[in-house]
Amino acid sequence: MIKTEETLDPKNNEPKYNIIKANAIVLPPNEFVLATTKEWVEIPPNLCARVEGRSSIGRIGITVHITAGFIDAGFKGNITLEIKNLSPNSIILYEDMRVAQLVFEELNGTPKRLYGEAGNKYQNQTGVVGSLIYWDEDNKVVK
């Protein structure tokens, strides 16, 4: 999923994306793409996780998450990756290419509410899910 060339206004519009299904994609320099893991994860109440890019991918200039690396206790779904090519070269990304890893952390207790118990936007996501920032209460439409 690559964003379209338009000004994004998260208070007034749902971001629009071009959906690409391919065995490989050429990511030009400084371009951004959303991707998904094939794996479905279910984080138990006593753990949280972080998605981290592999060193080998980082060393060619690819980041796999920009800000959303934390996965809450109770999350269920595919993980959406925010991939950016920071290098001056186009890079081919292949289906089934190992680009990320999960790091699990044990919690001292269980949260009062697990992810998904408060109407969280991304619970049970399948495939690539773009930004749902326009769902936020503090981000309601302005006119």
What are the catalytic residues?
82
Residues ≥6 apart with Cβ < 8 Å to 65 = 51, 52, 53, 81, 82, 100
- Which SS3 state, helix, strand or coil, does residue 138 take? helix
Distances (CA, A) of 28 to 3, 67, 132: 13, 21, 26
